[in-house]
Amino acid sequence: MPGNTNRGLALALSLALWGALVPGPAAAREPDEEHMNVLIILDSSGSMAGKMGGQVKMQAAQRVVKDLVDNMPSDMSVGLLVYGSQNPYQKRDCEDITLLQPVGPVNPAEFDAKLAQVKPRGMTPIGASLRRAAEALRGLPGKSTIVLVSDGAETCQTDPCKVAQEVRTTTGIDVKVHVVGLDIESQDRSTLECVAEGGGGKYYGVANEEELRTAIAEATQPPPRCHGQGPMWASIGHPGIGEMMNAKKGWAGLPTRKFWLGFIPGFGWPGYLQVVSAIDASHCRTNDWPHD
């Protein structure tokens, strides 16, 4: 009797595996998981009127962002959020945050016209801007990238490091936060590095327009296409092997708990762990469950 139960469980889980991995007509119509949304947060505080490498920082940033969007692939989406552009610093307006261009299909003419209107004036509400960015990205298909371009740290009594971590881990958005620091002084750099770390992204320190151009190009680079069919079938052979293939670290990339748990009949193969591992591998994900 227990043997029949195990065989029934294994059959049910194998059918679940087949249903999860073989897309039907509805699944084929789902948005492309590899679509990328880019939301640029541009510092428009008063200090952006200063110079970096002999160039006015705001003007250099506008040129670089304009060139980026003008040459952006049509299958990406892009938006622009600015802070400090409406009111002078003396007003201490920490709600001076404007979504100039909602995230959507690339439209260089419209984007460039709005970007050209931005003037450096006010405060630096980084934390509040990150929250506004999360609102703008919520519900959009695909992966998202926030690129914060700033020449200074928070001036509005918010902890931007904590906010960046919240945006990445608690909003339900598949997002990373990269930070580009324009000629940043040492006391401000640690804060912006912390924002990038909390947002799961990278910090780029730049001292001139050419370095700025390189940093923004790297931060907005589309992720490599996922080709997970081979790893998926490998994981069907044994849970975790396909994920090891995706990790590209040889045996060092093998999720060891999945490997050993994979030998449990009816749970590892065929079974629940096999389903989880094959789905992970098919989407080029590694070691999501159980954690090593």
Tokens representing 9 are: 């469980």
Burial, 213: exposed, middle or buried (Cβ in 10 Å; 0-12, 13-18, 19+)?
A: middle
pLDDT of residue 189 exceeding 90, the answer is yes
Tally: H helices and E strands in the chain: 12, 8
Q: What does the alpha-carbon distance between residue 244 and residue 252 come to, in Å, rounded to a whole number? A: 8
pLDDT of residue 33: 55
Please give the Cα distance from 255 to 121 (Å, whole number).
Answer: 51
* pTM score of the predicted model: 0.72
Write down all domains in the chain, each with its CATH number in brackets. Answer: 36-219 (3.40.50.410), 227-292 (no CATH)
pLDDT tens for each residue of 61-98 = 999 999 999 999 988 999 999 999 999 999 999 999 99
With b for 16 or more beta-carbon neighbours within 10 A and e for fewer, the 31-66 pattern comes to eeebebbbbbbbbbbbbbeeebeeeebbebbbebbe
Give the dihedral of Cα atoms 48, 51, 52, 55; nearest 10 deg: 110
Burial of 3 (0-12, 13-18, 19+ CB in 10 A): exposed
Q: Which residue has the higher pLDDT, 240 or 23?
A: 240
Q: What is the pLDDT of residue 2?
A: 46
Pairing of strands 77-83, 97-105: antiparallel
Q: What is the DSSP letter of 46?
A: G
Average pLDDT over residues 263-273: 90
Rounded to an integer, the average pLDDT of 87-111 is: 96
Q: If phi over 0 gives left and psi between -120 and 50 gives alpha, with beta otherwise, what is residue 47?
A: alpha
pLDDT value of residue 184: 93
Out of 22-26, 166-170, 286-290, least confident range: 22-26
> pLDDT, tens digit, for every residue of 25-62?
433 334 455 789 999 999 999 999 999 999 999 999 99
Mean confidence (pLDDT) of the chain: 88
pLDDT at residue 3 greater than cutoff 60: no
pLDDT in tens, 124-157: 999 999 999 999 999 999 899 999 999 999 999 9
Which one has a higher pLDDT value, 59 or 269? 59
Beta bridge partners of 176: 145
Separation of CA 151 from chain center: 22
